[in-house]
Homo-oligomer: A and B are copies of this chain.
């Protein structure tokens, strides 16, 4: 019993500091959603947050929420989206091994969920922002945030923009969580801050019935009559877990997370018998093509070969670059297509010919030249038979000088986020190795495995997951019969 996340037994607990029907651990987007839903379904709710205020990593995010199927914003902006098209896109983008049942549930419930968010006071302007793959600098709402209108997805599902940004200028995470926390504050539920939950409490029947926490250096115990919902973030800030489970992410400079993403929620759930899922995958963004028109350049791997349609979502590019190209990729531009990206990155190599760049950068003779030759031929025909890049991004690279941006993982603008966590059922119940629920235990947000699968659908899918399945977890926990 020396390890903090080890289970504790109910019979050993001498006294409870307080009790509630549902205890929610963490007050980010998932925690707020779970707490509100549980409260609205009649449960007495206690939220325990380790920081001095709510928000978590959600408040530090871009604030996009991935929603579709025909939301009012989509309709106003002229996108003809349906639950079926959303489903088809999510199934394709989440391969291999997409979670069909959860994707179906989310696709069919997405419009309702939009209305719920608005009802909580999260405003969305009825407008479209045409620069894809990022949140708007204005207060506009909709963006293409997952390469929906790019190959191969444009042929699999009817393209629709689905990244919904709450109505504020620039990065929307802080504003979004401000709205959510205000909605929490309007409800008769209790939040305690500076309480770090460390351990779950289990009774003789194997049911999770409480938590042990640390407050001002002292151990305090809280009892949960109906259930505990773990919404304590992911593990991107836990170096050891990253090294054990997804070592490639250890090479990424920018981690999308806060101090709280130390995997504690995941570890508590695992100590209670929860099984870990998709721990070896991650969302990795390579943001070298912001603004998006930089996608008129050509990405090459260490062999000088193309590997992706450069106009797609930078998250798809990052995953491909890190996990399948060894993190060794470069972006080639010519004088016509070159501009500073949002990182202001200087070219690593400049040359009057592709052959010169090829030699300077140390590529094997001829391959980069053949790549550009084939690409230019394709571009002059207005089609990209290899990767399906859109015609508007196909410009022959034939205006010297040429520039090569270093997008290797050690120097390029990468950022990463864990997608692995506890395996959960359709109601957010934490599942054991046999797929059965652990009574009284729920997880949502990045403490759970991303609901869609291994691919990362697009910017906003993590907050969509956290809020949609957070609500389901809170609601299901609230509906359990109280334990004595």
Contacts and interface: CB of A to CB of B under 8 A. Distances in A.
Interface of A: 2-6, 96-97, 240, 243-245, 247-248, 266-267, 270-271, 273, 275-281, 303, 305-306, 323-324, 364-367, 370, 373-374, 377-378, 385-387, 423, 432-436, 454
A66 B38 CA distance: 56
A324 B365 CA distance: 24
Nearest to A270: B433
18 contacts: A4-B434, A97-B244, A266-B433, A270-B273, A271-B434, A276-B276, A278-B280, A280-B280, A280-B281, A303-B306, A303-B386, A303-B387, A364-B386, A365-B385, A366-B374, A366-B377, A370-B370, A370-B374
Contact of A244 (B2, B277, B305): B277
Q: Which of A96, A378, A436 has the most CB of B within 10 A?
A: A96
Majority secondary structure, A binding face: loop
Given A281-B280, A324-B324, A370-B370, A432 B271 contact: yes
Contact of A96 (B247, B267, B271, B278): B247
Q: Which of A324, A434, A435 has the most CB of B within 10 A?
A: A434
Contact of A374 (B97, B273, B367): B367
Nearest to A96: B247
A275 B273 contact: no
B386 A248 contact: no
A270 B273 CA distance: 7
A388 to B, nearest CB: 10
Given A3-B434, A267-B434, A273 B276 contact: no
A387 B367 CA distance: 12
B436 A3 contact: yes
Contact of A5 (B4, B303, B374, B434): B434
Nearest to A378: B364
Contacts of A3: 432, 434, 436
Given A271-B432, A366-B377, 9 more contacts: A4-B434, A6-B434, A270-B273, A270-B433, A303-B305, A303-B386, A324-B324, A367-B374, A370-B374
